[in-house]
Amino acid sequence: MASAPLPLTAAPIRFGTDGWRGILGVDITVERLLPVAAAAAQELAYQAPEGLKSRTVVIGYDRRFLAPELAEAIAASVRGAGLDPLLTSTPVPTPACSWAVVQRQALGALVITASHNPPEWLGLKIKGPFGGSVEGDFTAAVEQRLAAGGLSIPVAGDLPRFDARGEHLQGLRNKLNLSAITQGLRSMGLKVIVDPMHGSAAGCVQDLLGPEAEGIVTEIRSSRDPLFGGCPPEPLAPHLEQLIAAVQTSTQAGQPAVGLVFDGDGDRIAAVDETGCFCSTQQLMPLLIDHLAGARALPGTVVKTVSGSDLMRLVAEDLGRTVLELPVGFKYIAAEMLSGEVLIGGEESGGVGFGMHLPERDALFAAMLVLEALVDGGKPLGKRLEALRNRCGGACHYDRLDLRLPDMDARRRLEALLGEQPPQSVAGVAVQEVITTDGVKLRLGPSHWLMLRFSGTEPLLRLYCEAPDAERVAEVLAWARSFAEAA
C-alpha cells in the first residue's frame, strides 16, 4: 500500500485527541521529543491530586521503529525534570501502562506510540494518575510550558525497568474466569484466531488463556515488523485479508472460528465472525452490553459516542439501562467513568472501556469479555449478533468515509454551510432531526442516519452512515461526498 508523500518540514507541536503524533524524523525527533516529555512530566507533578506523594512516571513503548530507544531517551528527560522514570522491560500494549499507573499510584505515564497510524508515524501519549488519557486543558498546559521555553536538561543514570506486560496480564486473570472461557470454547468447538497486526498485543491472548487453550488459539502476524506488513496497524476490514481468509478456511473445514484483531498499541479491538464478516465495535458493543447487563447483571449506565450504532441504544434500553450519547473521543467516556457508575463505554473507532476495570480502553479485556459472551450464549459471533438484532431490531450496516478537503478555507466554507443551512434531505429522504453534539448528525429514520464531522486539526471530513442495508449506506455516503465537494 503506497504511503502519501512525506512532509519536508516539521508541523507545530500540537496535541490531538489522544497525544502528539507525527512523522518520525520530521515531526518526531529526539530534539523535539525531550522537551515535550519534560514538560508533560512537570505538568503531571504540578497537577497531581492532593495526597498523591509519588514521584514515579511510568514510561512505555510499542513495537515501532526506534520506539525503545526514544523511550530510554525520554526517561533521562523525566529524570532531568526531578522525577523518577520507571521503564517497561518490553514493548507493551498501552493499557498495560494505564494499569501500572493505577496499581502503583504513579503520577502518570508517557507512552511512545503512534497507535494505529501508518508505519512512518510515531508519537507520545500521556496518561494521568487515574490511568486514562489526560484532557485538553492538561495538554494545553504542556504546550504553554513548551512555548515558555523553560530549561530542563536530561540526566542519564541507571534506569529501573519492570514487567508491565506480565503485571497487566495477571491483573486481567484476576478479573476473569479464564478456565471457564477456555472450557466453553472447547465445548463449542470454536477456534480463536488472533491478529495483533505485528503490534504490541502479540502473544497476549495465548499467554492469558495459557496451556489449556492449546489447539483452540492460534495467532497470525505476531512478529515485530516496524512496517506492519505495509499497511497501518488499524483494525479495519481492508487491512485484514489474511485474518478473514484464515477464519473462513477454518469454518469451511468444519471448525467454526472467531477472529480477534488489535491495533498497533493494543487499545482498539475488532473481530471477524465465523463467516468472515468484519465486526467493528458497532457490533461488539451491543454484544457486550447484552452480556454485561443481561447475563452478568452488572450495574451502570451505557455510554456511547454520537457516531455509535443505534443498536447499542436499542440493546441497552431493552435491558432497562440508561444511555448517554457524547461527542467522539474516549476522554469524554473516561470523564463519565470517573464521575459516575458506568457499565461500558465505547466509540466507533474500536475503543471500549469498562467501569469495573479502568477509565480507559483495554482491547485485551474487551476481547476476553467477547469470548465470555460467546461461551455464555453458546453461539459463534455471527449467529449471536443475528439473534441480538432479531430481538432488539436495528440496522446492521454501517460504514465511514474519510474525505480530504482541498484546504482549510474549503473546510471553513463547509462548516459555515452546515451550521447555517444543514441539508433538509439526504439522497431522497427527508431529514427528521439535526443533532449537533459533535459535528452534524442528520437523522433520516429508525437506525438510519448520516453524520458529518471534521478532524480537529486538518482539512479532513469524516462521513459516517448507518442504514438498513449496505446499498443504502453506499448511496448516502456517495451523496455526502458530492455534497461536501460541491460546497
Which residue segment(s) compose the domain that 43 sits in?
A: 20-165
The answer to whether residues 217 and 130 belong to one domain is no
Domain boundary at 357, 392, 427, which?
392
The answer to whether residues 145 and 208 belong to one domain is no
Q: Positive or negative, the Cα torsion across 478, 481, 486, 487?
A: positive
The answer to the question of residue 128 being in a domain is: yes
The answer to whether residues 88 and 194 belong to one domain is no
The answer to whether residues 376 and 300 belong to one domain is yes
CATH number at residue 182: 3.40.120.10
The answer to whether residues 132 and 250 belong to one domain is no
95 residue type, one letter: P
Residue 390 CB contacts under 8 Å (≥ 6 apart), including other chains: none
CA distance 185 to 26: 47
Contact 485, 461 (CB under 8 A): no
- What spatial distance separates the first Cα and last Cα of the chain, rounded to whole Å? 31
Domain boundary at 112, 132, 165, which?
165
The answer to the question of residue 5 being in a domain is: no
Q: Which H or E run contains 144?
A: helix 136-148
> pLDDT tens digits for the chain (487 residues)?
444 566 668 888 989 878 999 999 999 999 999 999 999 999 999 999 999 999 999 999 999 999 999 999 999 999 999 999 999 999 999 999 999 999 999 999 999 999 999 999 999 999 999 999 998 899 999 999 999 987 789 998 889 999 999 999 999 999 999 999 999 999 999 999 999 999 999 999 999 999 999 999 999 999 999 999 999 999 999 999 999 999 999 999 999 999 999 999 999 999 999 999 999 999 999 999 999 999 999 999 999 999 999 999 999 999 999 999 999 888 889 999 999 999 999 988 789 999 999 999 999 999 999 999 999 999 999 999 999 999 998 777 889 999 999 988 999 999 999 999 999 999 999 999 999 999 999 999 999 999 999 986 678 899 999 999 999 999 999 999 999 998 8
Nearest to 26 by CA among 4, 16, 11: 11
Q: Exposed/middle/buried for 208, CB within 10 Å: 0-12, 13-18, 19+?
A: buried
The answer to the question of residue 1 being in a domain is: no
The answer to whether residues 253 and 381 belong to one domain is yes
Tell if the pTM clears 0.85, that is, is over it. Answer: yes
CA distance 153 to 338: 35
Residue 454 pairs in a beta bridge with: 461
Nearest to 93 by CA among 346, 363, 351, 285: 363
The answer to whether residues 257 and 180 belong to one domain is yes
Residue with cell 502473544: 203
Contact 400, 349 (CB under 8 A): no
The answer to the question of residue 4 being in a domain is: no
CATH number at residue 446: 3.30.310.50
Nearest to 450 by CA among 326, 323, 430: 430
The answer to the question of residue 2 being in a domain is: no
CA distance 60 to 26: 22
Domain boundary at 353, 371, 392, which?
392
Q: For the chain, how many structural domains are there in total?
A: 3
Query: In whole angstroms, what separates CA 184 from the centre of its chain?
Result: 28
Nearest to 303 by CA among 267, 265, 332, 262: 332
394: left (phi over 0), alpha (psi -120 to 50) or beta: left
The answer to whether residues 375 and 473 belong to one domain is no
The answer to whether residues 353 and 422 belong to one domain is no
Angle at 270 between CA 268 and CA 274, to 5 degrees: 160
Q: Exposed/middle/buried for 486, CB within 10 Å: 0-12, 13-18, 19+?
A: exposed
The answer to the question of residue 6 being in a domain is: no
The answer to whether residues 139 and 189 belong to one domain is no
The answer to the question of residue 436 being in a domain is: yes
The answer to the question of residue 8 being in a domain is: no
